[in-house]
Chains A and B, each alone.
Chain A
Amino acid sequence: MFTFDLLINAVAAGLMLGGFYAAVAIGLSITFGQLDIVNIAHPTFVILGSFVAFVINESFGIDPVLIGVVFMPIFYFLGMGLYQIYYVSFEKTGQESLSGLAFFFGLMFILEVLMILAFGVDYRLVSAAYIGETLHIGPLDLPLRMLIPAVAATLMTIAVVLYMSKTFMGKAIMAVSQDRLALQLMGADPIRVKRIALGIAIATAALAGALLIIIQPVEPSVGRLYIGRIFAIVVLGGMGSISGTFFAAILIGVVESFIATFYGPSWAPAVGFGILLLTLAIRPQGLFGRA
Chain B
Amino acid sequence: MRSFTIRKWKGRILASSLTITDVEAGYGSVRVLHGVSITVEDGESVVLLGSNGNGKSTLIKCITGIVRPSAGAITLDVDGVTTDLVGMAPQDIVGLGIAMVPEGRRLFPALSVEENLVLGAFRKEARPMIAENLDFVFETFPRLKERRGQLAGSMSGGEQQMVAVARALMSNPKILLVDEPSVGLAPILVSQMIAKIKELKDQRAMTVLMAEQNFNQAIKIADRGYVIVHGEIAYEGATAEDLSNNDMIKEYYLGA
Q: Does A271 contact B (CB under 8 A)?
A: no
| Residues A184 and B94 in contact, CB atoms below 8 Å apart | yes
- B123 / chain A contacts, CB cutoff of 8 Å: 186-187
The 10 closest A-B pairs by CB, nearest first: A187-B123, A184-B90, A187-B94, A182-B106, A291-B110, A186-B122, A175-B108, A178-B108, A184-B91, A290-B110
| Residues A240 and B91 in contact, CB atoms below 8 Å apart | no
Interface size on B, residues (CB 8 A): 31
Q: Give the residue name and chain of the A residue nearest to B154 (CB).
A: A291
| Residues A189 and B118 in contact, CB atoms below 8 Å apart | no
- Given A183-B119, A187-B123, 18 other A-B contacts at CB below 8 A? A171-B111, A172-B122, A181-B90, A181-B102, A181-B106, A182-B102, A182-B106, A182-B108, A185-B90, A185-B91, A185-B102, A186-B123, A187-B94, A187-B95, A187-B122, A188-B122, A240-B110, A291-B110
Question: A289 vs B195: C-alpha distance in the bound complex, in angstroms?
Answer: 37
Residue in A175, A181, A186 with the greatest tally of chain B CB atoms within 10 Å: A186
- A130 / chain B contacts, CB cutoff of 8 Å: none
| Residues A171 and B102 in contact, CB atoms below 8 Å apart | no
- B64 / chain A contacts, CB cutoff of 8 Å: 185
Q: Give the residue name and chain of the B residue nearest to A167 (CB).
A: B118
Q: Give the residue name and chain of the B residue nearest to A240 (CB).
A: B110
Q: Give the residue name and chain of the B residue nearest to A291 (CB).
A: B110
Question: A179 vs B127: C-alpha distance in the bound complex, in angstroms?
Answer: 21
Q: Give the residue name and chain of the B residue nearest to A185 (CB).
A: B100
For this complex, 22 residue pairs linking A to B, each with C-beta atoms less than 8 Å apart, are A168-B119, A168-B122, A171-B119, A174-B110, A174-B111, A175-B108, A175-B111, A175-B119, A178-B109, A178-B111, A179-B107, A182-B106, A184-B89, A184-B90, A185-B64, A185-B100, A185-B102, A186-B94, A186-B120, A186-B123, A189-B91, A291-B153
Q: Which of A156-197 contact B (CB under 8 A)?
A: 168, 171-172, 174-175, 178-179, 181-189
Q: Does B240 contact A (CB under 8 A)?
A: no
| Residues A174 and B115 in contact, CB atoms below 8 Å apart | yes
Q: Does B73 contact A (CB under 8 A)?
A: no
Q: Give the residue name and chain of the B residue nearest to A179 (CB).
A: B106
- A174 / chain B contacts, CB cutoff of 8 Å: 108, 110-111, 115
A residues whose Cβ falls under 8 Å from a Cβ of B? 168, 171-172, 174-175, 178-179, 181-189, 240, 290-291
- B109 / chain A contacts, CB cutoff of 8 Å: 178, 291
B residues whose Cβ falls under 8 Å from a Cβ of A? 64, 66, 89-91, 94-95, 99-100, 102, 106-111, 115, 118-124, 126-127, 151, 153-154, 167, 171
Per DSSP, are chain B's interface residues mostly helix, strand or loop, or mixed?
mixed
Question: A257 vs B85: C-alpha distance in the bound complex, in angstroms?
Answer: 60
- B102 / chain A contacts, CB cutoff of 8 Å: 181-182, 185
- A183 / chain B contacts, CB cutoff of 8 Å: 108, 119
Question: A67 vs B106: C-alpha distance in the bound complex, in angstroms?
Answer: 44
Question: A174 vs B127: C-alpha distance in the bound complex, in angstroms?
Answer: 18
Known contacts being A179-B108, A291-B153, is A171 close to B89, with CB within 8 Å?
A: no
Question: A182 vs B64: C-alpha distance in the bound complex, in angstroms?
Answer: 11
- B95 / chain A contacts, CB cutoff of 8 Å: 187
- A179 / chain B contacts, CB cutoff of 8 Å: 106-108
A6 nearest CB across to chain B (Å): 42
A291 nearest CB across to chain B (Å): 4
Question: A250 vs B12: C-alpha distance in the bound complex, in angstroms?
Answer: 54
- B106 / chain A contacts, CB cutoff of 8 Å: 179, 181-182, 185
Question: A186 vs B98: C-alpha distance in the bound complex, in angstroms?
Answer: 10
A275 nearest CB across to chain B (Å): 23
A253 nearest CB across to chain B (Å): 27
Known contacts being A175-B119, A187-B122, A188-B91, is A182 close to B107, with CB within 8 Å?
A: yes
- B66 / chain A contacts, CB cutoff of 8 Å: 181, 184
Question: A290 vs B127: C-alpha distance in the bound complex, in angstroms?
Answer: 26
Q: Give the residue name and chain of the A residue nearest to B95 (CB).
A: A187
Question: A181 vs B103: C-alpha distance in the bound complex, in angstroms?
Answer: 12
| Residues A168 and B153 in contact, CB atoms below 8 Å apart | no
Question: A189 vs B91: C-alpha distance in the bound complex, in angstroms?
Answer: 6
Question: A240 vs B118: C-alpha distance in the bound complex, in angstroms?
Answer: 18
- A240 / chain B contacts, CB cutoff of 8 Å: 110
